[in-house]
Amino acid sequence: ASLHAYLVFPSSRGGRKPSGCSVPGLYGNHGSCRVRTTRASWRRVCGANSCSWMTPSQPRSATRNRRPSSKLPPGVGIGEKSPTELVKNPSSSPRVSIRFDLYQDFTKNCWFLAALASVTFHKNLLANVVPRNQSFEKNYAGIFHFRFWRFGEWVDVVVDDRLPVDKDGNLLFVSSVRKNLFWGALLEKAYAKLCGSYEDLQIGQVSEALVDFTGGVNMTIKLGQAPPDLWQIMVRAAYSGCLMGCQTRSGPERVLENGLVAGHAYTVTGIRTVTCKSGTENLVRLRNPWGKIEWKGNWSDSSSKWEQLSLKERVLLRKTREDGEFWMSIEDFEVHFVELVICKLTPDLLSYENGKEWTLSMQRGKWVEGSTAGGRMTYTESYWKNPQYRLKILLGDDMEKCTNSCNVLVSLLQKQNHKHRNQSPPLYIGISIFKV
């Protein structure tokens, strides 16, 4: 895949060249112009010159791309090392059951990991974000490539393999239960680069990361005002391959008496209707990005409610290991969580197995003061000045005979104008649809 150097090399006075590398032009002055090159060419050049590739925008350090205000435990030193310096046989390839691979460490990026765990259920989606054929073995040059969806297009981000570690050589941020797996930490580094810094990953929403990983369209349900058919909505979402995440009530991130974490994001990893002696119950399976600390109420790992199920169903669903994943009833889910995010894949990622084909149209615009900034609908004299787009729906013969209708999905995005995502707070925006 072609890579745009302006995504990899921000405007600067020049990149730093790794020790022993005498490749002319590889780390030259790029300025702010767009220089096209390829990941494969970087690998070939580095391999031929026996040198490791290094991210010019983060010279020798991912930690320099992390502002010192990040809250780390007292006494934790910061350095960086390559995975080849940490273990004998490092791996960068996601494997089976990968939602259990990763866990959150010092950073408060549970929203990032909750979204990533949801993506791991879809191999094609994960392979799009973490391209295959990247390893620490053949033609290894210290370069890794990832892809993210940003404001209507997929962008490529390239990073070196230097990862933040403490004085004992342990990864500071995203870690893996298998010490030789580094794809999660490398992906996090690429995402931190895209967002501006590791510090910019401290605060975020599951909905943001789900869009960045998939290009999908989010639907957010406030569980305090959940529709009566919430369970049916979740069933349809799961059946259609949607990704789901949720959030507990805001506040300082702390473990509550019921085992949930306040101000924390979780992944919805499954739903199930079970048959009890007293009837049926609808259950939701969730995972804590910490990889530990689980719900202690009904249908938790140690709950007596499991005794009401048949042995077959109990063996299939109940897992007593401390992995951060647990079940709870839909009723408890509505009480203890405040928000459910459902990410529906956009037409370019939807399969056409059902015979229905989507047409995708993308428009770009902006609100300009004195010109196209017309304000909200209550400003009747200026509202018409806002950007307008006309959508004409042509119904086919078959559709006219059946329902005389079609589905339309509209998503409005606000593009940030600052390199650091948390230094560009979103403004109030909206879109209205009128029949003309």
On whether both 95 and 120 belong to a single domain, the answer is yes
On whether both 299 and 403 belong to a single domain, the answer is no
Q: Please, are residues 15 and 59 in contact by the beta-carbon 8 Å criterion?
A: yes
Distance CA 251, CA 117 (A): 23
**356 occurs within a structural domain:** no
On whether both 97 and 185 belong to a single domain, the answer is yes
User: What letters, b where the CB count within 10 A reaches 16 and e where it falls short, cover 78-101?
Assistant: bebeebeebeeebbbebeeebbbb
Which has the minimum average pLDDT: 12-26, 120-134, 305-319, 396-410? 12-26
Which has the minimum average pLDDT: 143-157, 254-268, 277-291, 398-412? 398-412
CA distances for 326 relative to 43, 248, 291, 321, 390, angstroms? 43, 15, 11, 10, 47
- CATH of residue 286's domain is 3.90.70.10
Share of the chain above pLDDT 90, in %: 31
Averaged over 231-254, what is the pLDDT?
90
Surface-to-core class of residue 155, CB atoms within 10 Å of its CB (0-12 exposed, 13-18 middle, 19+ buried): middle
Distance CA 77, CA 68 (A): 12
Cα 280 to chain centroid distance, Å, stands at 34
| Whether pTM exceeds 0.85 | no
Distance CA 34, CA 134 (A): 25
Averaged over 103-118, what is the pLDDT?
82
On whether both 244 and 300 belong to a single domain, the answer is yes
432 vs 107, residue with greater confidence: 432
pLDDT digits (tens, 9 = 90+) for 291-328: 889 999 999 999 999 999 999 999 999 988 888 899 99
**225 occurs within a structural domain:** no
User: For 32, what's the count of Cα atoms within 13 Å in the CB-facing half-sphere?
Assistant: 0
**355 occurs within a structural domain:** no
On whether both 77 and 202 belong to a single domain, the answer is yes
- Of 264, 336, 343, 386, the catalytic one is 264
Q: What is the pLDDT of residue 99?
A: 65
On whether both 258 and 157 belong to a single domain, the answer is no
Averaged over 245-258, what is the pLDDT?
89
**276 occurs within a structural domain:** yes
Can you tell me which residue has the tokens 């870690």?
A: 175
Angle formed by the axes of helices 110-119 and 206-214, nearest 10°? 40
- Sequence-distant (6+) residues with CB within 8 A of 303 are 297
List strands edge to edge, sheet with 265-276: 217-222, 337-344, 243-248, 265-276, 279-287, 325-329
Q: Residue 429 pLDDT more than 80?
A: yes
Count of domains forming the chain:
3
Distance CA 217, CA 241 (A): 13
Of the three residues 213, 239, 256, the one that is the final residue of a domain is 213
For the question of residue 418 being annotated catalytic, the response is no
Q: What is the pLDDT of residue 270?
A: 94
Amino acid at 407: N
On whether both 173 and 242 belong to a single domain, the answer is no
Q: Residue 354 pLDDT more than 80?
A: no
If pLDDT is split at 50, 70 and 90, which confidence band does 430 have? confident
Of the three residues 146, 178, 213, the one that is the final residue of a domain is 213
State the SS3 of 55-66: CCCCCCCCHHHC
Q: What is the pLDDT of residue 78?
A: 76
Surface-to-core class of residue 270, CB atoms within 10 Å of its CB (0-12 exposed, 13-18 middle, 19+ buried): middle
- The neighbour count for residue 319, using CB atoms within 10 Å, is 13
Residues of the domain holding 69: 2-213
- Of 288, 336, 343, 386, the catalytic one is 288
**308 occurs within a structural domain:** yes
Averaged over 48-60, what is the pLDDT?
46
Compute the mean pLDDT over every residue in the chain, rounded to the nearest whole number: 77
If pLDDT is split at 50, 70 and 90, which confidence band does 415 have? confident
On whether both 129 and 66 belong to a single domain, the answer is yes
pLDDT digits (tens, 9 = 90+) for 217-241: 888 999 999 999 999 999 999 988 8
**223 occurs within a structural domain:** no
**317 occurs within a structural domain:** yes
On whether both 132 and 68 belong to a single domain, the answer is yes
In sequence order, what are the beta bridge partners of 159?
A: 144
**67 occurs within a structural domain:** yes
Distance CA 267, CA 80 (A): 30
> 176, 198, 229: which is closest to 61 by C-alpha?
198
On whether both 79 and 154 belong to a single domain, the answer is yes
For the question of residue 218 being annotated catalytic, the response is no
pLDDT digits (tens, 9 = 90+) for 142-178: 888 999 998 888 999 999 989 988 888 888 888 887 8
- Please name the residue ranges forming H helices in 181-221: 183-195, 206-214
User: For 233, what's the count of Cα atoms within 13 Å in the CB-facing half-sphere?
Assistant: 16
Q: Please, are residues 298 and 305 in contact by the beta-carbon 8 Å criterion?
A: yes
On whether both 138 and 286 belong to a single domain, the answer is no
Q: Residue 67 pLDDT more than 80?
A: no
DSSP 7: H
On whether both 78 and 205 belong to a single domain, the answer is yes
Q: What is the pLDDT of residue 109?
A: 83
Share of the chain above pLDDT 70, in %: 72
- Of 30, 46, 109, 110, the catalytic one is 110
Q: What is the pLDDT of residue 325?
A: 93
Q: What is the pLDDT of residue 210?
A: 94
Q: What is the pLDDT of residue 265?
A: 93
For the question of residue 110 being annotated catalytic, the response is yes
Of the three residues 184, 213, 242, the one that is the final residue of a domain is 213
Q: What does the chain come to in residues?
A: 436
